[in-house]
Structure formats: structure tokens, C-alpha cells
Structure 1
């Protein structure tokens, strides 16, 4: 990132300022044995604080703040990576793209069409690139002097949902210390709130608006759930399906997990301040805490179901 000495334009970081870095495959990074050190470096970069290091040739890097976006793809994140991200401080948000469920026959037919009738891969890639460039050119043409955001027109209810979604994800991504649950680490929701607001503004801009409305929050809810560890997302969705209250027997049936794993999941949710145990002498049961009951609103549930 910052290693080229005395080479004009050799440093990548300044060239990223106010741009978007696209990484087609991030899996290599998460398999690197030096991942903890790499994530530590990325933490500073993703905070927009620049990066400076000292080498045998002197100081190398960028002192000033550099803000940029980073869009990357990865197939799967292993559970231990979630713990590592939590200890270093979460900076990344995720959106899971589901594969369409197809029969074997449908897959065969699609692949046959691909090699007989479909466009060449490079041609498809070129079409996508041109469409992306065209999209941003239209935005630049529409706002030649830059975008002035009309915050006065932002719906207050939309802003409230953004804050609630940030607080929900803060709890979902808490890092529990197995030796002492009182040392659970929660991320600061300020960064999440601003990121979610920016996502909403991007969604609004796609619909030719410079203010946000409640419907824009649909994009944030999808990111909120997909940015949580998968097993926690699964339990939260199960709770929503059961109107905010679920017992161990129900979740064992839904998750196909054994009793011990289910009880551990329930206990973790209590530690994360998402649920409370319900008094029941026959079975272990949990219910959403009142501060998260907004997720049970019919409109919110409809938005969530669109992506799950």
C-alpha cells in the first residue's frame, strides 16, 4: 500500500482518495497467516487516517487523511475470522447474495445455453462496465456541481430506524470473552450509524432523491443482518418468525442443532443484551428485549423477508 520510495505516483493510497477500490476476490486475504497484522493495518486505513511506516530507507506513506470506499467479494468467512474482526474492531459491512435454487435439469439447460447461445464472458464484463460508467456519468450530469443533500427533507422515522439498526448490529456483533462474559466487547455505534445513513442516501440517490424516506431503510436492514455472524443471524430470524419469542424445542427443530448448542446460542444472546429468558419450568425460552421490538413491525418484517 505504501512502499514505493521516491517514485512519482507509486503510492496507491493517495490515488484512492474519494474513489472506490474494487477487489474481486478477498478470500486470499482471509487465508493469510499474517491476517491479524494485516487487519490491524486495515483498521487504520478504513478509518481514513492514512498510513505511515518506517523502513531502512526512511519514512514511507501518507500522513493526511484519505477517505475511500472499498467494495470486495468473498465466498465465505470462517467463524474464527468473526472473532478476530471483533477484537480488532469491526469496520466491514457485508451483503449476502443468495444463489437461486435450481433443479439439476435447470442447471444443465442453463449451462448448455451458456456455451451455445450466450455471450462471451469478456463481452458480458464489458457490458457491465459500460453500464456502471454510464450510471455514474448520469449522476454527474444531473448534479454537475456535486450533490447537496437535503437533510431537512429526511424523514425522521427513517433516521430513527437507521439508529435502531446500528444498535441492533452492535449487539449482534459483540465479541464474548469465554472466560468472563462481563468483558464482552461491543463496537461503537457511531460509525455504524453514519455508514447506514450513507447506504440509505445511496439508495435514495438511485431513486432520484436527495433525501431519505422509510423505504430506503430496506437496504440497511439487509446489510444489518448479513453483517452479523451467520449463526446469530439465524437465531434472530427465528425469533422474528416466532413473533419475538422462541423456546429450545422450537429452535432445535428449526436449526437442526442439538440441545447444548441451542442453549449456548440462547445464553450468548442474553449476554449480548438481545433477549431475556422467560420463566418456564418445562422448557428454556427467550424473548426479544423491548428495545428490539421494532423489528416485529409488519412493514419491517416485510422488508426483511425480501432479502431472506
Structure 2
């Protein structure tokens, strides 16, 4: 071997001009020729480290070391002393792989002691495994060669130095020309047993134990559909991914492609994001322990059947009942706690095994009315809730053009909210979108709220999505909904229900006192804490889920729910009503679309059952009906609800003039709203001819089908809403700031 030249000496011998700055030599790129017109060497793009000889062009991306550079310039690196000349056996190589194979060999000889120690101690690899895998070091990154089934090198996967803490630098990157591949594909030959891991280092650790292993180079969310056939003849296939949402979803995807493979969950002791390396090194497990762990695996179809909805949660620190929760929250936030109790009833539906339809509840009121405060009560339940300030329905299954297809699963929202409650603090921006975007968003929500996943296509990434049990619950807040939104939701079959907080106006004294209040956040924190404890108690009591005995639920309670479903289906019907010319008494309307009440009926029943669980009961009773009735009376267009409430207040019969006063509208508008309810088959209308000038008065009477809602029984059930002013003798319209004048000769 000749004497070793320095980088400067070699460049001078080739008559290559360069500038020196901060330990690096800068020269015109010898690969792309993009610096020919540069007047200053310091403006060029090829940077070469003075000590290591590693180079990189900041323009074209060419990179390597003195070995590859000298070969590029037509020299023999062995003669220059850059590498030791060896007698090598001829090997079969893919075209273009010769240079990569030699670089792999060079990198494998350059592992610094501190990196070698990290691989041995922190990743648990042996010297033999490191050598067999040709793990290397390029001066700044750990190099992991990716081979094909014939051991030809395809590309390099690069791991950021473990001693670099800058999180802006990606942990893993690939060399140019990389495509998603199977790391360890050679292990598929002549085996009846294999473990699929999430990452290359986990696969290498298992090789220490002589366990055949393999992984995708794309991470948790990347596994080609056609790879499934490679495992068909292998008798025992196990999938052991990291303990986090991405890992769980990735394992499910692989399990769906390999039907006989068993998905193995790591124990909770490895911690969030824990992996196989943590299992062995952090928990001190051995081969025998791991083989026992594999016995707990389940095939994908069995997991889908069970839903995996009842994961173990942290144990509550104290026993909390619903009454204790009401005492605390009702005292601190009396105007919010009924809505919060309904929200908990949404959460607990996940405990009922036969519930497969997502339930969406939206708190509605004007700004600064307590909607966000109510949602914040649930912000400590991170194990069961996914909170966001704003989201787009397109985020359920992403087709982002700036992401690789294999990376999209990491940002998809749908798998992250599976068997959880999605909480959106502000839904109003979606409702305020332009018609085209609004219809698209509502269309996606409609499909996702079937609970069966969502699949979509795009020109960028083709077909993507998820299919199976994707049940979740939904809580959100919004300012009052515009009429056009109600119309679009009605046409699509709305899956959302609404609850108006009806917050009272603050007096001057109350507003002044708020300015000196010091413990507001402390009060909110107390509500978060007690809400978390209550929910954890419920999950502890019913941690295996509930097999609900529906036949034992009282028939009269079920009938009330069905009445509400039927009324709401009519209230949410879509129809356009208008009058021609100057005769406002004659109206025309479009075709009426009234959805069948079957879905609403089931969802309202689920809400009642969720409330029963909140009260630690496994059968519904009258106490569980107030949330059902309240969402029924809040989940349709406001003028229809106002008109219906006036009818109920006056025993089911009102006049046109009363409608004008109650909902503060003109006579033509009142006639239009009355006609809308008639077309929706909620009321009958009768003209009354009088000697008074102007349009004849009309008598509006609720149809017999819905007259139960005028009864004392309905009124009593509504009064069970916690904190409802009506239960203290104040009529609902006074509580809602709606003034209803008395009418002579009619029930008041």
C-alpha cells in the first residue's frame, strides 16, 4: 500500500482549485458541473471534509468519500492508499450496485467506538450481528444496507447519530433512489417461523436470539399489498410493532394482508412508543419470555371481532359517583354541567359492546357562552379522547401531495380516533365553508359516521383508506348553525346531534365580579380532575365492556325514545316553501325528503344507555330520557324548534299572531314557517274567518302523532335535566329569553 495522501494533496495533484473554510474544502462540483460560471470558489457547492474526505454537493446531492471521488476521477484508490488492495471473489451484482457495495464495505470499517458502543449497549446488538448486517458509519450517520433476496445492495437507510439531539433533523432518511423494501427478505427462505417488526434495529436484535425477523423500510404505516403473498407458506407469522397508535394501526394493516399472522401486543410496561428493544433491555426479558409473549397473539379477524375497545386504563385515584360529580361541577359551572353530563354519556357508549355507530354531539351557543369550557372538562382524558382545536374532514384519510404514500398512515386521523372520542373545540369553520366545500365535508362526515371506516381515491396516491370497525364518538362546539347548513345536512342524512347551552345573559354586577375573579382556571381544573376520575371509575367498573340486555329495558322508555326519533326525523326533513305574487296565503313547496327514523332511533337509544352507565346502571329508566328529549328539541332548524316549543307551551294549539310574536317575525314569515311544519306532517292548519281587516287568522294544531310532547309526562321528563330552570318553576321560554304573551280562550 502506498503512502496516504491528504485531501489537499490529492486535489492539488489533480490541479483542482479549492477554498478552505471551517475545516471544509469548497470547490466546483466535479459531478454536475453546475458551478462553471461561479467567479468565487466560496460560492461553489461541493464541500469536502479536510480530515475524513467525505464530500457532498449542495446542488446535485452527490456524496461519498475519497474512495468514490478518486474512482470518479479515474484513479485507483488502492494505489493512492485510500483503501487496502484485496483479492476479492467475483460476486453476482445488479447493474449499478458495484460502487454501492464497495462503499458499504468502507463504511462498515469506519464505525467510531462511541457508535459501536451505542449499538451494543443501547440497541442490544452483538458484534456478529453488526458485522453480518454490514452496519456502517459515513462520518455523520449510521448506515444500514438494504439488500434484495440475492443479497445485492439496493440502497442505504441512514440513522441520525444518536448523539444529535436536534429534533429538526430527521431520525431516519434513505439514500437517493430508495423505494420501500423488506429489510431481511433473505430470512423468508426455508423457514416455518418469522417475526415482522416495525424497524430494522428491532429485527436485528431478534437475530441475536436466532429468531428469523423482517421489517419494512417504510416504518409502521408502510407495507405493500403484494408482500402478503410472500408469507403464505410460512406456518407461524407474528407481527410485533411498537406500542403506540401508529404501531397498532400498522400491525392491523399487515394482519389484514396476512390472514394467518398473529398480532402480538407488547406489555404496557414498555411505555408509550415502546418497542422490542425496550422489551428486552428496559424490562430485562429473555428468549423464553418472548416466546411466551408470542403465544398471546391474535389473528386480525379475531381482533376486529372483539374491537379491542376495552384497553386497560390507569386506575382512578378516588371513588367518584355521578352525584358527587354533579355536586362539584354543578356548583362551579351550573350552566355547563348538564351539557357535560350529556358529553360523558357520549363517552360511555364505547363501553357497550353492540354500539357500532359513532354518536356526534355538538354544543351550540353564541361566543363566550361556555362551550369550550365544557369541552375542556374532558381534556385530561388523553387515553380516551383525541382533542383538536380545528380539523378538516379530509384529514380522516389523507391524500397530501407533499407526503409519500407510505408516510400518509402516520398522519391519517381515522386510525388515531378509533375507539376514542374525537373532540373538536370549534366546528364553526367547517359550517362556514363555501357550498362546494361544505357539501364535500358533510359527505365525508356522513360516511365516517357509519363507523365502518372510510376509503377514497386521488390522482396523487390512488386508493387509500380503512375498512372495518372504526367506531368512535364525537364532541364539538359551534356557534349557531346557518339555515343553509341544516338544509345540506338534511339532504345527506345528518349524523350529528346538537345541544344548546342556553346560557343566560350576565347582569352588570355579574360582569363586574368576573373581572376580579382569581380562581377561574382553578375551578376549570377541578372540573377536569373530577371528570377524569368519574370516567376512569366507569371504565374500571366495566373494563370488559357491557353485554346489554335490551329486553329488560322498560317498554315505555323505549317508546319515548321512538317518539323522539320520529319527531326529529320530521323536524329535520328538507323542503323549500314559497309564495307566489302578492298572495302570501298561498304557498308552494318542493318535494319533501324525510329520513326514516331507524338510525336516529338507535342513536338516541345508545345515548340513553350511555347515560344509564354514567349513573352506574345497566338498564335505562326515566332519568336517562332527558338527554334524548333535549337533543331532539335542539337538532333541527331554529325557527322550527321555536315554533314547536310555542306549540308545546300552549298545549298543542296556537294562532298565526302568536307565532309572529314568539319568534319575532313578520306575518309572511310566520305563515311560511307554519306551512313548512304542515308540509313536514307535524301540524294541521285551520283557517278562521273573522271580521278583522287583513289576512285571516290561522289555527295551528300539532298532529295527534306528536301530541305526547304536549303532555305533563314529557314536561316532567324534560325537567330532569340537571340545572334546568324549568324544574324550579320558570317556564322554558322565559329561561330562553323568549316572551310568550297569553291568549284568551287558549291553554296557557
Please say whether Structure 1 and Structure 2 have the same fold, judged by a TM-score greater than 0.5. Answer: yes
1:2 aligns with 2:397: yes
1:287 aligned onto 2:701: yes
Q: Are 2:145 and 1:145 aligned?
A: no
In proportion to residue count, which structure has more strand? 2
Residues 71-90 of structure 1 deviation map (CA, whole Å, 9 limit, x = unaligned): 11001211111111112221
CA distance in 1: counterparts of 2:543 and 2:495, whole angstroms? 32
Larger RCO: 1 or 2 (CA < 8 Å, sep 6+): 1
- Do residues 12 (structure 1) and 407 (structure 2) align? no
Per-residue CA distance 1:189-234 (angstroms, 9 max, x = gap): 1110011001111111121110011231111110001101111010
1:189 paired with 2:597, answer yes
1:168 aligns with 2:567: yes
| Contact 1:170 1:186 (C-alpha < 8 Å) held by counterparts | yes
What is the alpha-carbon distance in structure 2 between the residues aligned to residue 189 and residue 139 of structure 1? 30
Distance in 1, matches of 2:663 and 2:590, equals 28
* TM-score of the pair, normalised by structure 1: 0.91
CA contact (8 A) 1:148 1:210 kept: no
1:86 and 2:490 are equivalent in the alignment: yes
2:534 pairs with 1:135: yes
**Alignment correspondent of 1:73:** 477
In 2, Cα distance between equivalents of 1:158 and 1:59: 45
* Cα drift, residue 292 of structure 1: 0.5
Partner residue in 2 for 1:247: 655
Per the alignment, residue 201 of structure 1 pairs with 609
Following superposition, the deviation at residue 153 of structure 1 comes to 2.5
Cα RMSD over matched residues? 2.0
In structure 2, distance between residues paired with 1:172 and 1:266: 12
Cα distance, 1:77–1:143 mapped onto 2, change above 3 Å: same
**Unaligned 5+ residue runs, structure 2?**
1-395, 579-587, 691-696, 725-731, 733-748
Instruction: Please give the alpha-carbon distance, in whole angstroms, between the structure 2 residues aligned to 1:233 and 1:148.
Output: 36
Mapped contact 1:157–1:214 kept (Cα < 8 A): no
Q: Which residue of the partner structure matches residue 42 of structure 1?
A: 445
Work out the CA distance in 2 between the residues paired with 1:63 and 1:153: 33
Q: Find the counterpart in structure 1 of residue 506 from structure 2.
A: 102
After superposition, the C-alpha distances for 1:60-116 in whole angstroms (9 at most, x for unaligned) are 211334111111100121111111111222111001112123211211112322xxx
Shift of 1:58: 2.9
Distance 1:252 1:31 in 2: 29
Stretch of structure 1 that moved more, 61-70 or 266-275: 61-70
For residues 109-120 of structure 1, the aligned pairs below 5 Å read 109-113=513-517, 117-119=518-520
The question of whether the paired residues in 2 share the 8 Å contact of 1:52 and 1:63 is answered with yes
102-111 or 124-133, which moves further after superposition? 124-133
Sort the Cα spacing of 1:152 and 1:89 in 2 relative to 1 into closer, same or farther, 3 A.
closer
Q: Is the 8 A contact 1:90 1:187 kept in 2?
A: no
C-alpha distance 203-57 of structure 1, shift in aligned 2 (>3 A): closer
Measured against aligned partners, the alpha-carbon deviations of 1:173-198 in whole angstroms (never above 9, x if no partner) come to 11004486361111221110011001
Distance 1:255 1:87 in 2: 25
Q: Secondary structure at the match of 1:211?
A: coil
Q: Distance in 2 between matches of 1:58 and 1:261?
A: 49
* CA 1:174–1:57: 2 relative to 1, 3 Å: closer
Contact 1:155 1:214 in 2 (8 A): no
Distance 1:244 1:183 in 2: 26
Q: How much does 1:279 deviate?
A: 4.6
